[in-house]
């Protein structure tokens, strides 16, 4: 609507409220991480650090096995992401390209899992990993995550967005299923596949609950678990350091998001491929 | 023999039959246009030839062999899609050679064919462009190019001009015919545009509601429509269809009584009601003593010609096209026609009942 | 592609794997909840209970303040849902209908929060609730959740999906912003709004982490927290009962999903409104 | 006075100027058609009248008052959108009375107006249907209905027939004109279809690249185009434009030398090169002694008429439309024309240089 806009402030209230509630934790985190102990105690809700200090970051990098956690997190996130994107694309292509009985039913049933509490889902997987002897190893974290319903769903949507005549043209030119997948489908869904890959990576990087159950030894911890150690030791004197860890934990996801914003947004927008 | 033959072909989706029962053949090397309103089954018919739709019943022969179960890639078909279906991530050159690579042609042969095709279609110099960098007309030519490099004996086109504007469309029609003359493939062209059909086709197959209505030359489709559907689908404005009573050697239209031409006696014999079909440009405006008196109720000026709507006493309308601007609407008292310009249809079924045996002067 | 399908089983492998991994926890949960103690110990991975027993359900409903937890969960989920959908629709409409400076920037910035670990976001909110004296109350759970970035995003997408001429036609007929919102936009986005509402409700119903931090007394617990008590007391003898609680916890979300599948799917598919 | 006047109106998006500088007025109660190729700015012009696009520079007067800052809802305008823009969640009746309710009309007045409009548009009985339960033609009529119940003095239509098929479109054109005759609002109609423009308009405003090319009656637009753009935009095939040299009383076309008609002497005086415009239906095929010799290079049979492409010695093409099927392509040796059927354009600017003062016999 490129039309006149009443300057009615009432309309902006929910907007401002929503934006504030979304942004407040980030601002708080960033500012606290640059505050020293005194500032935190004297003015907890004051958003600005005077003067800003890097002490918290120095403490984190010196007194804390930060890079071990980064390595653990990165290993798990990378492997999970590679597996998930591969299975998502292949399964999605099979869902779109082949006709088989009960296709829609299987697909819809698969979406069920989005709506079940994570706490419910975790128990059976925990049991399975325990039987397989994978508790307290990165593999125990990775194995139940090599396929992802949301990923299949998003990739199926994207593949369905490819105009059918493109696939039919390839078919008429004599291409088989593998040819169509590699020469037509993959190049066309690349932006969305990249977006979903990033999404998977960030999600896995940030994951807290499942690694917490599987990983018991501190040296195997991922960053979100390590971060939680500070919160549990709810002492106040650790707040600044905790927020510095939080900042460092968030840096990679945020950078990935900022650089790949375009891909991510357009995937969510289902803009798909235009012939 | 690269001909195509439909033998009792039907197409059903679940319970709905969309193609009733097709029986016709397409000759090797001819330009056949499948014409009809949207939803008439013309695209489904084309897609069955391409193998993109399965045939529910009956047999489809291509080059003498049944192809019902043959995969699209094995039918040796080139097809141009309505939205061109160019691969957006590939350059013009890659689009054109896509199929040739799969066919594992030698690099040399591939380059030769592609260059030749690009030249014919005036696309030399555009090899490295991506589809999105091309205009609509260029995209359409690339799609044609991709089809002709395959040198397939069958050439299918699904409304290939519908995304072009009027000027380009006219030009593309001519190019398309020229292109066909070079390679002489068996060409099946789907369109809903009667002007395209009339100008491109050697034969037109008119479909309606999944049934073939008539398959004949443009000439005959226009002047000797097989039934009232064809008569009213072709022509702008379409053929005037007037209900008429017959008694002895007279026919009654509106409140006019017109002597029946002797040549028609045998054809009409035994019928008391008929439908008389006359093309608007064959109706002659009459100032004095018209065969059928009528009043002018509306005039449209199209620049090069006028369309007058005449209303008979019984409220039937007759459209008359005329280039003659001197006869004003006010002085028009009705219209006349020549018996050799008339088609006659059965009153109930709408089927053409035929023409006098002695060619009475039908133009060409 | 309604075309020939090679019956190449290779293509189905990722599909089958993905479906299995998605469905296995649900099947396990359902079957374990109907097993008695002996069965659980003898054949942990055996999917079928012989004979099925309702003992676990009876135990849950008799010995356990199940309905208290249902009430707590329902109260929180309902209030959170109502607030979220109201702010989402209003903010989304403002985002679409009004032109103002920095609109896109604010919007994109808001999406940032999807990509930050929940553990990071929770600390500042915890602090805020603690200052406001709302810890250990349902209000402490509800307050930080009255606006939702994802909800604003989804509603904005839906509202943008309304063909512009519809809004312009209403404008030409003399309707103002409120008229357009209530007479045109709301009726048209109803299916999506219902879907997002259900989504919010299920999400809040299933939420574990934030309520865990805020709610300390067991009588204030929500269902996922209550469920967790069984898992923590990892004794084996409780497995059947835990799964019965899990089943009961999942029943409402699953039913909601099944009944409103059509709405939910079409919202994710961004099918939007067609003129 | 419900007229509309553009005074130096410009429209810019950021840096691009899409409407150059419009200066023209629309008379109260007239039917004006804005015609042009896509992207010519016709829709933007319409939307500026509606208030849906802001005016970057200049002033727009409606009924004598500047309306630049007036909200769309306050301009008392009725508009029909290209895709009808019916509210899908409302019934036909609710769609029609939507604006009337906002205007707070009495229930009685509302019912009266709605019933009347429904009757005029043959929609009685469809009041409770939802838009999706209507056919394309019915939707279009509901959109018209919603526009006319407002009884606004300004009636804007944005390609209202483009989603209808050919048959319905013809019928809708007639209905639209009839509708206008009933209420006589100031009607602005946007289209890219020249047939619609010719048949609906009292005056046509032709636009190209954001500039007004000509505003005149359909008659003059067709026979006296203001420049070569208009000449080649109107007509299928469009006006033939032949470059010609002038020497003394002779003009040279291709390798032919034609005596210049005396009446044109004064108009052409002093020019050595001109562009000669002749409509295809005004070119007369000649078997013997043509004014301009040429060869037939292509024939299109449109059923009711034929289009021949003649190629001159200098490779220029001339299209000739003819209904006369007796003259075969083989016997055609060129074409002739009458001087009263000719338009002449400046060789460089393409602007029409005018006509002989004494009306030389231009039809009507």
Tell me the CATH number at C258. Answer: 1.10.3720.10
CA distance B39 to C85: 43
A269: confidence class by pLDDT, cuts 50, 70, 90: low
Q: What is the pLDDT of residue A272?
A: 33
- C36 and C134 in one domain? no
The answer on pLDDT for C40 being more than 90 is: no
Helix (H, G, I), strand (E, B) or coil at B284: strand
Q: How far is D21 from chain C (nearest CA, A)?
A: 25
Considering only CB atoms, which chain B residues are within 8 Å of C3? 51-52, 54, 71-72
The answer on pLDDT for D208 being more than 90 is: yes
Q: Residues of chain D with pLDDT > 90: what percent?
A: 77
Which chains border A (3 or more CB–CB pairs < 8 Å)? B, C, D
The answer on pLDDT for B240 being more than 50 is: yes
All residues at 6 or more sequence positions from C18 whose CB lies less than 8 Å from its CB, including other chains: A87, A88, A91, A110, A147, A148, A149, A152
Q: Is the CB of B46 inside 8 Å of chain A's CB atoms?
A: no
CA distance D287 to D324: 13
Q: What are phi and psi of D104, to 5 degrees?
A: 60, 45
What is the SS3 assignment for C86-122?
A: HHHHHHHHHHHHCCCCCHHHHHHHHHHHHHCCHHHHH
Provide the mean pLDDT of chain D: 92
Q: Tell me if B102 and A173 make a contact (CB, 8 A cut-off).
A: yes
For the packed helices A118-131 and C12-33, what is the interaxial angle rounded to 10 degrees?
100
The answer on pLDDT for B364 being more than 50 is: no
Considering only CB atoms, which chain D residues are within 8 Å of C176? 73
Question: Is A1 exposed, middle or buried, given 0-12, 13-18 or 19+ CB atoms closer than 10 A?
Answer: middle
Q: How far is B51 from chain A (nearest CA, A)?
A: 9
A194: confidence class by pLDDT, cuts 50, 70, 90: confident
CA-closest candidate to residue D241, choices D249, D252, D229:
D229
The pLDDT tens digits of the residues spanning B59-92 come to 999 999 999 999 999 999 999 999 999 999 999 9
Question: Is D116 exposed, middle or buried, given 0-12, 13-18 or 19+ CB atoms closer than 10 A?
Answer: middle
Q: What is the pLDDT of residue C33?
A: 85
Q: Is the CB of B136 inside 8 Å of chain A's CB atoms?
A: no
CA distance D31 to D186: 7
- A231 and A125 in one domain? yes
Question: Is B299 exposed, middle or buried, given 0-12, 13-18 or 19+ CB atoms closer than 10 A?
Answer: middle
Helix (H, G, I), strand (E, B) or coil at D160: coil
A4: confidence class by pLDDT, cuts 50, 70, 90: very low
Q: What is the pLDDT of residue B140?
A: 94
CA distance readout (Å), D255 to A51, A157, B107, B154, D288: 91, 64, 48, 44, 17
Among C37, C53, C69, which residue terminates a domain? Answer: C53
The answer on pLDDT for A234 being more than 80 is: no
Q: Is the CB of D136 inside 8 Å of chain C's CB atoms?
A: no
Q: Is the CB of A124 inside 8 Å of chain B's CB atoms?
A: no
Among A9, A30, A53, which residue terminates a domain? Answer: A53
Extract the runs of DSSP E, i.e. beta strands, from D201-289.
203-208, 211-216, 240-247, 250-253, 256-259, 273-278, 284-286
Q: Is the CB of C251 inside 8 Å of chain A's CB atoms?
A: no
Q: How far is C173 from chain D (nearest CA, A)?
A: 5
Q: DSSP secondary structure string, B12-61?
A: EETTEEEEEEEEEEE-TT-EEEEE-STTSSHHHHHHHHHTSS---EEEEE
The pLDDT tens digits of the residues spanning C26-39 come to 788 888 888 877 66
Q: Residues of chain A with pLDDT > 70: what percent?
A: 81
The answer on pLDDT for A146 being more than 90 is: no
Q: Which has the higher per-residue pLDDT, D215 or A200?
A: D215
The CATH architecture that domain B4-228 belongs to is 3-Layer(aba) Sandwich (3.40)
- A61 and A49 in one domain? no
The pLDDT tens digits of the residues spanning B105-164 come to 999 999 999 999 999 999 999 999 999 999 999 999 999 999 999 999 999 999 999 888
The answer on pLDDT for D346 being more than 60 is: yes
- A193 and A108 in one domain? yes
Q: Which has the higher per-residue pLDDT, C168 or D328?
A: C168
Strand partners, D244: D274
Considering only CB atoms, which chain A residues are within 8 Å of D53? 2
Nearest CA in chain B to C5: B71
Q: Which of B359-363, D155-159, D170-174, D360-364 has the highest mean pLDDT?
A: D155-159
Q: Quick check: C270 and C191 in contact, CB under 8 A?
A: no
CA distance D132 to D86: 10
Q: Tell me if B87 and A163 make a contact (CB, 8 A cut-off).
A: no
- For residue C168, the surrounding DSSP H or E stretch is helix C164-172
Asked which of A162-166, A233-237, D74-78, D80-84 is least confident by mean pLDDT, the reply is: A233-237
**What's the complex ipTM?**
0.80
Q: What is the pLDDT of residue A275?
A: 27
Nearest CA in chain D to A3: D52
The pLDDT tens digits of the residues spanning D16-38 come to 899 999 999 999 999 999 999 98
For the segment B101-105, the average pLDDT, to the nearest whole number, is: 93
CA distance C46 to C31: 9
The answer on pLDDT for B363 being more than 70 is: no
Across the beta sheet with D16-26, the strand order is D16-26, D4-13, D57-62, D65-66
The pLDDT tens digits of the residues spanning D257-282 come to 999 988 898 899 889 999 999 999 99
Q: Is the CB of D13 inside 8 Å of chain C's CB atoms?
A: no
For the segment A114-136, the average pLDDT, to the nearest whole number, is: 80
The domain tally of chain C equals: 2
CA distance A11 to C95: 10
Q: Is the CB of B29 inside 8 Å of chain A's CB atoms?
A: no
CA distance D235 to D212: 19
Extract the runs of DSSP E, i.e. beta strands, from B254-354.
256-259, 273-278, 284-286, 292-293, 295-301, 306-311, 317-322, 334-336, 342-346
Q: How far is C120 from chain A (nearest CA, A)?
A: 6
Q: What is the pLDDT of residue D339?
A: 93
Q: What is the pLDDT of residue D166?
A: 78
Considering only CB atoms, which chain B residues are within 8 Å of D237? 170
For testing contact with chain A, the best of C22, C118, C250 (most A CBs within 10 A): C22
All residues at 6 or more sequence positions from D344 whose CB lies less than 8 Å from its CB, including other chains: D264, D267, D268, D274, D275, D276, D277, D352, D353, D354
D358: confidence class by pLDDT, cuts 50, 70, 90: low
- A124 and A10 in one domain? no
Which parts of chain B fold into alpha helices (H)?
A: 42-50, 92-102, 107-120, 136-149, 166-183, 194-200, 218-223, 228-233, 265-268
Q: Is the CB of B364 inside 8 Å of chain D's CB atoms?
A: yes
Q: Which has the higher per-residue pLDDT, B328 or B137?
A: B137
Q: What is the pLDDT of residue A10?
A: 62
Q: Tell me if A113 and C3 make a contact (CB, 8 A cut-off).
A: no
The answer on pLDDT for A182 being more than 90 is: yes
- C90 and C127 in one domain? yes
CA distance D344 to D357: 14
Helix (H, G, I), strand (E, B) or coil at D240: strand
Residue B364 is nearest to which of D194, D281, D325, comparing CB atoms?
A: D325
CA distance readout (Å), A218 to A65, A246, C164: 10, 17, 56
Q: What is the pLDDT of residue A245?
A: 86
- C123 and C61 in one domain? yes
Q: Tell me if B170 and D218 make a contact (CB, 8 A cut-off).
A: no
Domain that holds residue C46: 1-53
List the Cα angle A238/A239/A243 in 5-degree steps: 120
Q: Which has the higher per-residue pLDDT, C51 or A148?
A: A148
CA distance B202 to B188: 11
All residues at 6 or more sequence positions from A233 whose CB lies less than 8 Å from its CB, including other chains: none
For the packed helices C118-131 and A239-268, what is the interaxial angle rounded to 10 degrees?
120
Q: What is the pLDDT of residue B94?
A: 96
For the segment A145-159, the average pLDDT, to the nearest whole number, is: 84
Other beta carbons within 10 angstroms of residue B55's beta carbon come to 21
Mark residue D303 as left, alpha or beta (left: phi above 0; alpha: psi -120 to 50; beta: remaining). left
Q: How far is D144 from chain A (nearest CA, A)?
A: 23
Question: Is B151 exposed, middle or buried, given 0-12, 13-18 or 19+ CB atoms closer than 10 A?
Answer: middle
Q: What is the pLDDT of residue C59?
A: 85
The pLDDT tens digits of the residues spanning C101-153 come to 778 777 777 777 777 777 777 777 887 888 889 989 999 999 888 888 888 88
Considering only CB atoms, which chain B residues are within 8 Å of A176? 73
Question: Is B155 exposed, middle or buried, given 0-12, 13-18 or 19+ CB atoms closer than 10 A?
Answer: buried
Q: Tell me if A2 and C118 make a contact (CB, 8 A cut-off).
A: no
A258: confidence class by pLDDT, cuts 50, 70, 90: confident
Residue C250 is nearest to which of A11, A18, A120, comparing CB atoms?
A: A120
The pLDDT tens digits of the residues spanning A11-45 come to 667 677 777 777 777 788 888 888 877 666 665 55
For the segment B14-26, the average pLDDT, to the nearest whole number, is: 92
Q: What is the pLDDT of residue B113?
A: 94
Q: Is the CB of C55 inside 8 Å of chain A's CB atoms?
A: no
Q: Is the CB of C2 inside 8 Å of chain A's CB atoms?
A: yes
- Start and end residues for every CATH 3.40.50.300 domain found in chain B: 4-228
CA distance D279 to D231: 9
Q: Is the CB of A8 inside 8 Å of chain D's CB atoms?
A: no
Considering only CB atoms, which chain C residues are within 8 Å of A257? 111-112, 114-115
- A93 and A44 in one domain? no
Nearest CA in chain C to A125: C25
Q: Is the CB of A211 inside 8 Å of chain C's CB atoms?
A: no
- A81 and A20 in one domain? no
Q: How far is D299 from chain B (nearest CA, A)?
A: 9
Q: Tell me if A131 and C29 make a contact (CB, 8 A cut-off).
A: no
For the segment D110-132, the average pLDDT, to the nearest whole number, is: 93
Provide the mean pLDDT of chain C: 80
The pLDDT tens digits of the residues spanning A68-77 come to 999 999 999 9
Q: DSSP secondary structure string, D322-363?
A: E---SS-GGG--EEE--GGGEEEEETTT-BB----SS-----
- A126 and A22 in one domain? no
CA distance readout (Å), D51 to C94, C168, D34: 21, 10, 17
């Amino acid at each position: 609507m490129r039309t006149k806009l009443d300057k009615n402030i009432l309309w902006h209230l929910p907007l401002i409220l929503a934006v504030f509630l979304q942004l407040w934790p980030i601002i708080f985190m960033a500012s606290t991480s640059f505050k020293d102990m005194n500032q935190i105690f004297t003015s907890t809700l004051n958003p600005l650090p005077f003067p800003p200090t890097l002490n918290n970051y120095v403490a984190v990098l010196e007194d804390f096995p930060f890079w071990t956690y980064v390595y653990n997190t990165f290993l798990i996130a990378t492997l999970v992401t590679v597996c998930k994107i591969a299975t998502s694309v292949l399964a999605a292509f099979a869902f779109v390209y082949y006709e088989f009985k009960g296709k829609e039913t299987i697909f819809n049933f698969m979406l069920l899992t989005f709506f079940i509490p994570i706490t419910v889902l975790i128990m059976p997987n925990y049991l399975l990993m325990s039987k397989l002897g994978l508790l307290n190893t990165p593999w125990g974290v990775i194995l139940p995550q090599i396929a992802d319903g949301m990923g299949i769903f998003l990739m199926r949507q994207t593949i369905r967005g490819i105009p059918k005549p493109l696939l039919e043209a390839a078919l008429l030119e004599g291409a088989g299923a593998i040819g169509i997948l590699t020469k037509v489908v993959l190049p066309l869904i690349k932006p969305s596949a990249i977006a979903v890959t990033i999404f998977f990576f960030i999600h896995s990087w940030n994951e807290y609950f499942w690694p917490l159950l599987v990983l018991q030894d501190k040296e195997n911890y991922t960053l979100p678990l390590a971060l939680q150690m500070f919160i549990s030791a709810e002492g106040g004197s650790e707040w600044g350091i905790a927020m510095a860890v939080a900042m460092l934990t968030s840096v990679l996801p945020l950078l990935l998001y900022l650089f790949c914003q375009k891909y991510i947004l357009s995937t969510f927008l289902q803009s798909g491929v235009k012939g | 023999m690269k001909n195509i033959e439909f033998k009792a072909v039907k197409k059903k989706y679940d319970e709905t039959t969309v193609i009733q029962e097709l029986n016709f053949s397409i000759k090797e090397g001819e330009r056949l246009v499948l014409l009809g309103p949207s939803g008439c089954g013309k695209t489904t018919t084309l897609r069955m030839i391409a193998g993109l739709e399965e045939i529910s019943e009956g047999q489809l022969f291509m080059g003498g062999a049944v192809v019902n179960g043959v995969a699209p890639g094995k039918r040796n078909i080139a097809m141009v899609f309505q939205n061109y279906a160019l691969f957006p991530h590939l350059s013009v050159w890659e689009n054109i050679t896509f199929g040739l690579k799969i066919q594992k042609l030698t690099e040399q042969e591939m380059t030769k064919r592609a260059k030749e095709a690009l030249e014919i279609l005036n696309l030399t110099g555009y090899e490295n462009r991506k589809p999105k960098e091309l205009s609509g007309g260029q995209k359409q030519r690339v799609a044609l190019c991709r089809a002709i490099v395959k040198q397939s004996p069958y050439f299918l086109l699904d409304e290939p001009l519908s995304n072009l504007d009027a000027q380009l469309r006219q030009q593309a029609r001519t190019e398309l015919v020229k292109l066909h003359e070079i390679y002489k493939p068996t060409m099946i062209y789907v369109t809903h545009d009667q002007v395209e059909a009339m100008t491109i086709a050697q034969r037109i197959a008119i479909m309606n509601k999944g049934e073939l209505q008539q398959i004949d030359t443009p000439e005959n489709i226009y002047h000797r429509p097989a039934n009232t559907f064809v008569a009213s689908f072709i022509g702008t404005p379409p053929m005037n269809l007037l209900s008429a009573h017959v008694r002895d050697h007279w026919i009654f239209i509106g409140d006019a009584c017109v002597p029946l031409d002797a040549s028609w006696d045998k054809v009409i014999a035994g019928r008391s009601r008929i439908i008389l079909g006359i093309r608007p440009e064959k109706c002659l405006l009459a100032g004095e003593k018209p065969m059928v008196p009528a009043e002018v109720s509306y005039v449209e000026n199209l620049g090069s010609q006028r369309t007058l709507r005449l209303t008979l006493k019984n409220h039937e309308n007759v459209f008359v096209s005329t280039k003659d601007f001197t006869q004003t609407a006010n002085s028009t008292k009705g219209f006349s026609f020549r018996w050799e310009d008339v088609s006659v249809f059965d009153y109930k079924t709408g089927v053409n009942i035929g023409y006098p045996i002695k060619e009475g002067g039908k133009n060409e």
